[in-house]
Structure 1
Amino acid sequence: MSRAARLLDLLQVFRRYKRPVSGASLAEELGVSLRTIYRDIETLKSQGAAIDGEAGVGFVLKPGFMLPPLMFTEDEIEALVLGSRWVAEQADQPLGAAARNALTKIAAVLPDDLKAGLDESTLLVVPGPPLAAGESELPRIRDAIRRQRKLSISYADVNGACSERTIWPIALAFFDRARVVVSWCELRNDFRHFRADRIIGLTVQTAAYPQRRAVLMKQWQAREGAHLRTRPGD
């Protein structure tokens, strides 16, 4: 492995840790000596990486450090292309446009030989069916999730029966044939999964829900996460 590749790998490892990690752990993960890790950390610091810590205590990379001109493997480029193409075809229009814009920005900083791989990728995504009426609200739902806002929705179940719900949206799952809003439902006093195409009315409330989204996500993952892989929605 080249030294440049090793430095990039070290940065990627640092980004996975929010708390200080020991030099010994870094050395073991990257398969190099502890002396090499210390030398590489000093090199990254000289290039502008804000790495705090010291030997025997641990090191942590402060957020905000930007990578130099990007280097990707062929598999990584194909993964980026496939992912962006899937989002462009399967998500709502604003998110699809964001995926295309992100790929354009990545292409702008790639070397010419790697940039060609973006245009020449042979991995294709088949266009999905048009969004259902309720799914046109996906941008507002995503915004509510980011801002941790309650939603008032009119929701039709599988039999067409309609109910009024106040929910705390915490995640949005994309299936091939459905988009599912993972939420805490005040009516049921429990987690519920709502298909976006069955939402027939939606209002974003000004009030934030009382618990942090991260806490709710952990609770949902512990109780319901495995079921969502096979159950598109209530």
Structure 2
Amino acid sequence: MRRADRLFLIIHALRGRRTALPAHRLADTLGVSQRTVYRDVADLQRSGVPIEGEAGVGYLLRKGSDIPPLMFAADELEALVVGSRFVQAFAGERLTRAVDAALLKISAVVPQELRSRTERSRIYAPDFGQHVSLKAHFDGLHACIGDRRVIAVDYADAEGRATRRDVEPLCLAFWGGAWTLGGWCRLRGAFRNFRLDRIASVEPTGERFDDTPDRGMDAYLRAVGADRSTH
């Protein structure tokens, strides 16, 4: 479970309680050690969440207090707005619709003053007319990655030479000018990155693949010199 999810669930578990919730029960619910619960609660307390109690006793929210649905600072909200602009400019229609819906939910619960401030952000992500080419095949590839479906790709390299490859798609990455598909190329027997604007067609083969230690996402990140913890 991601740490952000744990922190959310801790707050959710404490909301509305009249008696302290022991750390061992939180640990059992979250599937982590009590030490991890102690550390997470301490981090929440340092960030201003009104949690009372201590290790060995239990925790509850301070009497008369509650946690609002969202706790974002102005800079955090602006970061979300800026990120949404990049998604709207360069990602597929599926993610664009999702980010639009997320922003509507955020706007519904944050104060008007804070909402107006973030909407005035001067950081933009114009696509300069490249919108269609950069989004080519994005949604279909995104779905195949999630479903671990092998795809047949008609691809042209930088010299225009066309090949047809069976690919185990692992990720999509944006390099500040073009999207690439990262995956295991069965034709080459190695990891490869394919520019989306050089893909002529994509077709699922009907076969599924497993995320194995030697050909899965972790192996791909090692091959390209990246670290999963930074992504």
> 1:169·1:183 contact (CA, 8 Å) conserved in 2?
yes
2:39 corresponds to which of 11, 25, 37:
25
In structure 1, distance between residues paired with 2:150 and 2:144 = 7
Q: Which residue of 2 aligns with 1:156?
A: 156
Change (3 A) 1:69 1:169: same
Q: Which residue of 2 aligns with 1:109?
A: 109
The Cα of 1:109 is off from its aligned counterpart by 1.9
After superposition, what is the alpha-carbon deviation per residue over 1:28-78, rounded to whole angstroms, capped at 9, x for unaligned?
65676994467774449xx9xxxxxxxxxxxxxxxxxxx852121011011
Q: Which residue of 2 aligns with 1:86?
A: 86
> 2:165·2:185 contact (CA, 8 Å) conserved in 1?
yes
**Aligned 1:66-215 pairs, distance under 5 A:** 68-131=68-131, 133=133, 135-211=135-211
Change (3 A) 1:211 1:10: closer
Quick check: 172-181 or 101-110, which moved more? 101-110
After superposition, what is the alpha-carbon deviation per residue over 1:137-195, rounded to whole angstroms, capped at 9, x for unaligned?
11100010111111101110111111110001110001221100010111111111111
Unaligned runs of 5+ in 1: 1-7, 48-66, 228-234
In structure 1, distance between residues paired with 2:109 and 2:212 = 37
Change (3 A) 1:93 1:26: closer
Unaligned runs of 5+ in 2: 12-26
After superposition, what is the alpha-carbon deviation per residue over 1:190-216, rounded to whole angstroms, capped at 9, x for unaligned?
111111111112101222113369971
Q: Which residue of 1 aligns with 2:7?
A: 11
Q: TM-score, normalised by structure 1?
A: 0.70
Letter in 1 for 2:84: S
In structure 2, distance between residues paired with 1:25 and 1:12 = 14
Quick check: 203-212 or 17-26, which moved more? 17-26
Q: Which residue of 2 aligns with 1:60?
A: none
Task: Report the RMSD for the aligned CA atoms in angstroms.
Answer: 3.7
The total of aligned residue pairs comes to 198
In structure 2, distance between residues paired with 1:40 and 1:87 = 42
Letter in 2 for 1:156: A
Q: Which residue of 2 aligns with 1:219?
A: 219
Q: Give the secondary structure class of the aligned counterpart of 2:153.
A: strand
Q: Give the secondary structure class of the aligned counterpart of 1:26.
A: helix
Q: Give the secondary structure class of the aligned counterpart of 2:166.
A: strand
> 1:148·1:168 contact (CA, 8 Å) conserved in 2?
yes
Change (3 A) 1:71 1:188: same
In structure 2, distance between residues paired with 1:121 and 1:155 = 39
Q: TM-score, normalised by structure 2?
A: 0.71
Q: Give the secondary structure class of the aligned counterpart of 1:100.
A: helix
Q: Give the secondary structure class of the aligned counterpart of 2:222.
A: helix
Aligned residues with identical type, % of pairs = 28
